[in-house]
Amino acid sequence: MTVRTIDLTPSWREVAKIIEIGLTCGTYDGKKMARDELHRMASIIDALKLMVDNLELERNELLAALKQMHFMFAAHQTIDETEHGDVCGTAGGKAITQARDAIAKVGEPLKGNDDE
């Protein structure tokens, strides 16, 4: 026997409509519950915004560190080419490629931020 779960959680838009009805047509207690829920939702949104801002800051710091590593690898590669005539050997070439790939990946915009 297969058990299925149906998610009946209302969307934020649906909750906003319910709150609107509570604020306009509700009893004193209904209006109070609607106001309390509206304030709770605002706190959740503020907390999420702060989390996104912190993630963006951390992402930018990581990108700067990776770019610095890339420049360090590139400078080391140039020195090796000049002094030894090779490209840091296979391990050095792989490290530079990995650093470039990491920079490209971190430099991509965060998904979901297109709406801002």
Distances (CA, A) of 11 to 16, 35, 65, 90: 9, 18, 39, 53
For 86-115, give one letter per residue: b (16+ CB within 10 A) or e: eebeeeeeebbeebeebbeeeeeeeeeeee
Query: How does pLDDT run across 60-112, given as a tens digit for each residue?
Result: 888 888 888 877 777 666 555 555 545 455 555 666 666 667 666 665 655 55
Of residues 109 and 115, more confidently modeled: 109
Query: How does pLDDT run across 11-58, given as a tens digit for each residue?
Result: 989 999 999 999 999 999 999 999 999 999 999 999 999 999 999 999
Helix axes 28-84, 12-25, angle to 10 degrees: 150
